[in-house]
Amino acid sequence: MESGMEQWTWNKSMSVGNAFLDADHRKLLGMIEEVESAMRAQDAATFSRTLKTFENAVRIHFRNEELIALTIGHPFEQHKEEHQYVLNELQQMEAELIDMHGRWSESASTHYFIFLSSWASEHIREDDMLMKLELQSRPYDFKPDNLASP
């Protein structure tokens, strides 16, 4: 599988106007590359560990996003539902690939990598950008209490 990460590398145009969310996004994009590498290795244990680490980081990021949205008064119900959908997809992805005992096909790896990279791009460039206007009215390093690091 050829990596498409070049197009998913974080750049300034992806900034949502908040240092903590931007840092989360940079980290998650890098972690997608790690998940892809683990898929390519065809090692179920490494893949499972890498995907669980990624899933935990995504959960923390979603919690941070929801806390920031709540703090700035941004409507977030639909976005929260999308977060749950992605978490469900990650769990399904892990179950399907682990069931294959580290012998998943090139097409399965490509399918899931495309899902992850497309999700990340859409999540940042479309969904999270909806908060940018509200976030720009606050300092770039605005951080509500209880924000966690993924």
Does residue 2 fall inside a structural domain? no
How do residues 65-94 score in pLDDT, each as one tens digit? 999 998 998 888 878 888 999 999 888 888
Does residue 10 fall inside a structural domain? no
Q: Domain of 44?
A: 17-136
- Can you give the pLDDT at residue 97? 77
What is the dihedral angle through the alpha carbons of 113, 116, 118, 122, rounded to the nearest 10 degrees? -170
Query: Are 136 and 60 contacting, i.e. CB atoms less than 8 angstroms apart?
Result: no
**110 has a pLDDT exceeding 80:** yes
Query: Are 100 and 108 contacting, i.e. CB atoms less than 8 angstroms apart?
Result: yes
- Of 79, 110, 81, 78, the residue nearest 93 (C-alpha): 110
Does residue 9 fall inside a structural domain? no
**140 has a pLDDT exceeding 80:** yes
Does residue 122 fall inside a structural domain? yes
**Residues of the chain above pLDDT 70, percent:** 93
- Can you give the pLDDT at residue 104? 77
Does residue 3 fall inside a structural domain? no
Which of residues 9 and 83 earns the better pLDDT score? 83
Does residue 43 fall inside a structural domain? yes
Query: Are 65 and 84 contacting, i.e. CB atoms less than 8 angstroms apart?
Result: no
Does residue 11 fall inside a structural domain? no
pTM for this model (two decimals): 0.85
CATH code, 86: 1.20.120.50
Does residue 118 fall inside a structural domain? yes
**Residues of the chain above pLDDT 90, percent:** 35
How do residues 38-63 score in pLDDT, each as one tens digit? 888 888 888 889 989 999 999 999 99
- Of 83, 59, 89, 36, the residue nearest 149 (C-alpha): 59
Number of domains in the chain: 1
